[in-house]
């Protein structure tokens, strides 16, 4: 009986995402608002290495019981939803900053952007040795590409823009672009002290946009910088009739990642925009409605909404 059960386990298809039971190995303050937490554990031997802007979920411990009630089986999400509220751990979505399977190390960069979110608080108070559970890609699964949004297709020119919440994903994307990549990157951060050193191809020009006030004016500098650069360097064509005004960013997630990249739009461009929802919405409308960029060549992710606590 035992042998047949083991055989069934071995032949059963692995889910695209699995739970990884880890510990905090290192904590490093990168800047006033960025903290890198390095996780470790034997489970990382099976962690997927798709790279780019790979999304994961960081499970947060309950104040009194930690992870005692968090389901660790293959159908963990269904089991989690069935739990009573007081036994249900919160989790937040993050991007992998780096994964080193041979060393059994996983880096996640946490950002504190003034909203007092539970994941930010956890990162500020975490200590080496703390237990952590991360839901991430399972290398044993036949499913590939889940949790990825970067898909430039054949576009020869790249436009990347995001605020501090998108900096980890953008940093990982830049490190993995081919040396021939050409484009522009706009990164809005709380202060000049949050400007990080990034590895990127020589053709990817990076512009950092520190805010005048660290926890105010979200998106204003980012929107202005993108509009100024696009207006000067991109040849506008007939605008699209697409309108995002019917998307209520207070109630809906502003998220659209094309499954198939169409023929690139003006200047053979692909755009990847992420950050605070209202800023993302404004930039996306400008690119598509005013500049005529094919909407299927624009990936946009409104990670969070100003005034609503996240991460």
106 with 236, same domain?
no
Judgement on whether residues 133 and 161 belong to the same structural domain of the protein = no
**27/39 Cα distance (integer angstroms):** 9
* Residue 122 shares a structural domain with residue 190: no
Residue 126, domain CATH: 2.40.30.10
- Domain check: are 214 and 261 in the same one? yes
Q: Are residues 89 and 167 in the same domain?
A: no
pLDDT tens profile 107-161: 999 998 655 678 888 998 999 999 999 999 999 988 877 778 888 888 889 999 9
| Residues spanned by the domain of 183 | 157-304
pLDDT grade for 4, boundaries at 50, 70 and 90: very low
Task: Tell me: do 79 and 176 sit in the same domain.
Answer: no
Q: What is 191-250 written as a DSSP string?
A: SGGG-------TTEEEEEEE-SSTTSSTTHHHHHHHHHHHHHHS---SPP----TT--TT
Same domain, 103 and 210: no
Residue that is last in its domain, among 137, 166, 181: 137
Q: Do 272 and 179 share a structural domain?
A: yes
In tens, the pLDDT along 214-243 reads: 666 788 999 999 999 998 877 765 544 445
In a domain, 198, yes or no: yes
pTM of the predicted model as reported, rounded to 2 decimal places:
0.85
Same domain flag for 120 and 167: no
**Residue 22 near residue 133, CB atoms below 8 Å:** yes
Is 210 in the same domain as 297? yes
- What CA–CA distances, in Å, run from 19 to 38, 43, 48, 51? 17, 9, 12, 18
In a domain, 143, yes or no: no
Whether residues 21 and 121 share a domain: the answer is: yes
């Amino acid at each position: 009986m035992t042998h047949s059960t083991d055989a069934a386990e071995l032949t059963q298809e692995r889910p695209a995402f699995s739970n990884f039971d880890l510990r905090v190995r290192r904590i490093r303050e990168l800047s006033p608002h960025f903290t890198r937490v390095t996780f470790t554990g034997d489970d990382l031997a099976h962690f997927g290495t798709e790279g780019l802007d790979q999304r994961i979920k960081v499970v947060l411990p309950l104040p009194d019981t930690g992870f005692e009630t968090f389901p660790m089986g293959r159908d963990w999400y269904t089991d989690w939803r069935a739990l009573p509220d007081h036994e249900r751990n919160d989790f937040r979505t993050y991007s992998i900053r780096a994964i080193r399977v041979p060393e059994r190390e996983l880096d996640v960069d946490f950002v504190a952007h003034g909203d007092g979110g539970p994941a930010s608080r956890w990162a500020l108070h975490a200590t080496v040795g703390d237990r952590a559970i991360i839901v991430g890609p399972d290398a044993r699964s036949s499913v590939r590409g889940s949790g990825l949004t970067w898909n430039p297709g054949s576009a020869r020119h790249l436009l990347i823009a995001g605020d501090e919440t998108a900096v980890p994903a953008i940093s990982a994307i830049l490190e993995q672009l081919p040396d021939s990549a050409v484009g522009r990157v706009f990164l809005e951060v709380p202060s000049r002290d949050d400007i990080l050193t990034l590895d990127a191809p020589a053709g990817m020009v990076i512009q950092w946009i520190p805010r005048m006030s660290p926890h105010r004016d979200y998106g204003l500098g980012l929107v202005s910088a993108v509009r100024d650069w696009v207006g000067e360097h991109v040849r506008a064509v007939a605008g699209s009739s697409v309108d995002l005004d019917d998307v209520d960013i207070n109630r809906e997630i502003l998220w659209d990642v094309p499954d198939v990249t169409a023929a690139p739009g003006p200047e053979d461009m692909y755009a990847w925009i992420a950050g605070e929802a209202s800023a993302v919405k404004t930039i996306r409308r400008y690119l598509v409605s005013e500049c005529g960029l094919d909407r299927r060549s624009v990936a946009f992710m409104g990670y969070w909404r100003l005034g609503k606590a996240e991460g």
